[in-house]
A = this chain, B = another copy of it.
Amino acid sequence: MFSRTLEYALRAAVYLGGMYDRPMTAQQIADATAVPLSYLPKVLQQLVRANLVTGTRGLHGGYVLCRKPADMTILDVVNAIEPVCRIDHCPLNIPNHCDALCPLHRRIDALLASAQKTFQETTLAEILSEPGLPDNWHPQDTPKL
């Protein structure tokens, strides 16, 4: 139901949140998040273009989250990858229909709305604060240079 690319983006975003302020290379992110290294840059690019992440080149370069994890929500990531496209008019192209949504699409749109709301309510910081993430997702053991 969610695309693989979104999965990857979420993993990367949460991971970068945990490493906040330290540039992480695609290699490091791929290792930690088990995203194919050859595909990951494509995903990260989408986050860069959405201004969620900055990528800097060269030695000691890497990717850094643009905002503090507490200021970035799951929804931000979702919107960067595949925006929840709400249904604004009934897709049944029937004359004299479709001013508002039909009951079927009212339901579907309600679901999208609720998903969107849930996405918006969760920040990366919240996820990072819960126990259970892999140890190497937390920077305590790798002090910032």
| Residues of A in contact with B (beta carbons under 8 Å apart) | 1-2, 7, 10-11, 14, 33-34, 74, 82, 84-85, 91-94, 97, 100-104, 106-108, 110-112, 114-115, 118, 122, 126-128, 130-134, 136
Q: Which residue of B lies closest to A97 (CB)?
A: B134
In the complex, chain B residues whose CB is within 8 Å of the CB of A101: 132
B132 and A100 form a contact (CB under 8 A)? yes
Instruction: Give the CA-CA distance A102 to B23 in the complex, in Å.
Output: 23
Q: Given the known inter-chain contacts A101-B132, A114-B114, A134-B102, please indicate yes or no for A108 contacting B2, CB distance below 8 A.
A: yes
Copies of this chain, complex-wide, total 2
B1 and A93 form a contact (CB under 8 A)? no
Among B102, B103, B118, B136, the residue within 8 A (CB) of A114 is: B118
Among B82, B103, B126, B136, the residue within 8 A (CB) of A133 is: B103
Among B1, B74, B128, the residue within 8 A (CB) of A115 is: B1
